Amino acid sequence: MSLEVYFPSGQEHVFYLGPHAPRLTPVEVDLLHNIWLQVSAEIAPLELHHHDVVHFALEVLRDDLADGNRQNALRLLRQHVQRAREPVTPRAGAVA
């Protein structure tokens, strides 16, 4: 279930209530698809779906959090979140 708030300016805010599918950014979809492309041919003849890659990654993280790798997994997750929150600086020569 979601609550959608529309402002007169046209801006919209969506709030998900309870468990829900995540809203993936184009960067995350591209990362998932590239991983899928890299490994799908290598595990043939098994048929690999994008959701299999996500499920596998989540199980690996779950297992790392449950065993002796918890602190390392949390350290890597903190680093990821911090990098994701850093402002993007344009590359030299890039056209805005």
Average pLDDT over all residues of the chain: 90
Q: What is the pLDDT of residue 95?
A: 62
Nearest to 57 by CA among 71, 44, 76, 42: 76
Q: How confident is the model at residue 18 (pLDDT cuts 50, 70, 90)?
A: confident
Nearest to 64 by CA among 53, 47, 77: 77
Q: What is the pLDDT of residue 96?
A: 53
Q: Which long-range contacts (CB under 8 A, 24 or more apart) does 81-89 make?
A: none
Q: Is the separation of the CB atoms in 24 and 38 below 8 Å? A: no
Nearest to 74 by CA among 66, 25, 15: 66
Domain ranges of the chain: 21-85
Q: What is the pLDDT of residue 60?
A: 95
Cα separation, 23 vs 89, whole angstroms:
24
